[in-house]
Amino acid sequence: MTNTADMNSYEALYARMQAIVGRLEAGELPLEEALALYEEGVTVAAACQRLLDAAELRIQELNVGPGARPNLWED
């Protein structure tokens, strides 16, 4: 299992998620190993989401600065 604390970039986390999905989709893992990988995948997905949320917040903050244009991404 990879320590997700060592992966602080979205790209590294995404690459790890792809590796996890590939191994799970192969379907050749013992149940316990598949469960451990699934659990790691949930953790990695949450870390990716936190990074994406932080990036979105930074973009929103930049859009409300002086002379900023309205946020075109709002629903």
CATH of the domain at 51: 1.10.287
Domain that holds residue 20: 4-63
Whole-number pLDDT of residue 4: 46
Q: Are 43 and 35 in contact (CB under 8 A)?
A: no
- Any domain includes 27: yes
Q: Is 59 exposed, middle or buried (0-12, 13-18, 19+ CB in 10 A)?
A: exposed
For the chain, list the strands marked E by DSSP: none
pLDDT at residue 5 greater than cutoff 80:
no
Mean pLDDT over 31-37 rounds to 98
What the block records as the tokens of 17 is: 């998620």
Q: Which residue, chain included where needed, has tokens 């893992």?
A: 29
pLDDT score for 1: 47
Flag whether 45 is in a domain. yes
Selected residue with higher pLDDT from 75 and 43: 43
Report which DSSP code applies to 7: -
Model confidence at 3: pLDDT above 70 = no
DSSP-derived letter for residue 28 is: -
The per-residue pLDDT for 2 is 52
Q: Which of 1-5, 36-40, 61-65 has the lowest mean pLDDT?
A: 1-5
The token pair that represents 60 in the structure block: 């929103």
Question: Is 36 a member of any domain?
Answer: yes
Q: Given a cut of 80, is residue 70 above it in pLDDT?
A: no
